[in-house]
Amino acid sequence: MSEPTPPAPRRRAPFDPVAEPAGPSTTLVHGAERPERNAGSVVPPIYQSSTFHFPGEFSESARDGAVPLYSRLENPTQEVPAELVRRLEGGAAARVFGSGMGAITTTLLALLAPGDEVVAPEELYGGTLDLLRGLLSRFGVRVRWVPAASPEMVAEAAGPSTRVFFVESPTNPTLRVHDLSRWARAARSAGASLVVDNTFATPINQTPLALGADVVVHSGTKYLGGHSDLLAGVVVGPEALIARIDAVHAVVGSVLDPHAAFLLARGLRTLALRVERHNANAVRVVAALADHPKVVRLDYPGRASAAEEAIAARQMRGRAGMVSVVVRGGLPAARRLLHGLRWFHVASSLGGVESLASLPAETSHRSLSPEERAARGIDDGLVRLSLGIEDPDDLVRDLVRALDAV
Ligand SMILES: Cc1ncc(COP(=O)(O)O)c(C=O)c1O
């Protein structure tokens, strides 16, 4: 009897979310596979090379985009995390950067020129505030601030020179929620672009492009990487805007190293699972601390008012893993709380698997004056908690024990 014919080698079908709709976890696991290009490897390799062999004649036309040129401009390893975030955010194109600030600075430099204006809320990450108030103002860019107490004023904030609306939601560190659809309408009627920093929410919990934003920026250092072992930034948006950003990126050079790009892609594969746990841990901590006698105020997306709760319910699928508490007794009491914690590292940053606790007045927002911090609700005794993926009972027990002892 003749041997049965072995099955013909089967090529793995490329990921096609249109023909075969897939949820976020499936997208994150399979959404950037290129086995045909990568010697069949299941995990895309690290192209740890600053430059690439040039086939044929050394000219741009001969190259025709077929092979990378030089890693400040492009590197195949960077495409993997960019593609995963692009798919989740639902944008046309995406790029990765050496840090979140690299992504934000490059994006704003690409969209603005001297004499242009930006509309932005008063509550923003300290580094973004420094960029808007410091560096960009030196190049003739003015900011029209939307007061923290009157977020609805975004509707009439623009002037004839406004080119960009920039907002972050939930905000760092008071976790206020901005109505992103309202910001998108205001930007559109001013003929400006809306840029949303989606770092705190992640695309698992919130997708700003679907709410009308033009560009989404991320500190990939936080939840996207998820393990506190890299710095990265991501930008997602339409092809034409990303091409403008590419041109500035090529000279600014905030490049994500191939090894960090590999780690970012590795972290991203578990983003949906991790965020589910971060979300759940925050819900547990809010329930346990809301009525604690040592807690003067607890910040969590949607808690500031009924209006913000309605906005959060409309635009967020989950509320992420951040909780801030203002401790009775101000800064000395807040310091005692930090020192009493067992499972929380006292460290700035957020979004990693391990829980972190920090004092924004002394870290992320230290460049603001005490008056500026007070106007934004950043009390000296405000402790920002980034809840990791540890067991919720352990985190709650740790926080309650440390608060009791404050
Ligand atoms: C909301 C937000 N945006 C941007 C950044 C800047 O990101 P990176 O530290 O990766 O430059 C941070 C950092 O804490 C942040 O919290």
- 125 in active site: yes
Grade residue 112 by pLDDT with cuts at 50, 70 and 90. Answer: very high
Grade residue 364 by pLDDT with cuts at 50, 70 and 90. Answer: confident
Domain-ending residue, one of 268, 302, 327:
268
Q: Residue 100: CB within 6 Å of ligand 1?
A: yes
DSSP-H helix ranges across 155-212: 180-189, 202-205
The answer on 281 and 262 residing in a single domain is no
Which residues lie across from 327 on neighbouring strands?
Answer: 295
Q: Residue 169: CB within 6 Å of ligand 1?
A: no
Residues with Cβ within 8 Å of 21's Cβ and at least 6 positions away in sequence, in order, are: none
The answer on 167 and 148 residing in a single domain is yes
- For residue 1, the model assigns a pLDDT of 56
- Is pTM beyond 0.85? Reply is yes
Mean pLDDT (whole number) for 346-367 = 93
CA Rg, the chain, in Å?
Answer: 23
Is residue 304 within 8 Å of 177, Cβ to Cβ? yes
Q: Residue 225: CB within 6 Å of ligand 1?
A: no
Supply 119's token pair: 């509309």
Q: Say yes or no to pLDDT of 32 above 60.
A: yes
Residue 207, domain member (yes or no): yes
Q: Which numbered atom of ligand 1 lies nearest the CA of 349?
A: 14
Nearest CA to ligand 1 atom 9: 100
Supply 290's token pair: 């809301």
Q: What is the CATH number of the domain that holds 357?
A: 3.90.1150.10
Bridging pattern class, strands 233-237 and 193-197: unpaired
Q: Could you identify the residue written with the tokens 């934003």?
A: 213
The answer on 247 and 297 residing in a single domain is no
- The parent domain of residue 297 ranges over 272-404
Q: Say yes or no to pLDDT of 124 above 70.
A: yes
Per-residue pLDDT reduced to its tens digit, 36-64: 888 889 999 999 999 998 877 666 655 56
Q: Residue 123: CB within 6 Å of ligand 1?
A: no
DSSP secondary-structure letter at 56?
S
The Cα 404–Cα 399 span in angstroms is: 8
The answer on 316 and 176 residing in a single domain is no
The answer on 255 and 146 residing in a single domain is yes
Residue 247 DSSP SS3: helix
DSSP 71-102: TTT--HHHHHHHHHHHHHHT-SEEEEESSHHH
The answer on 288 and 263 residing in a single domain is no
The answer on 262 and 334 residing in a single domain is no
The answer on 53 and 148 residing in a single domain is yes
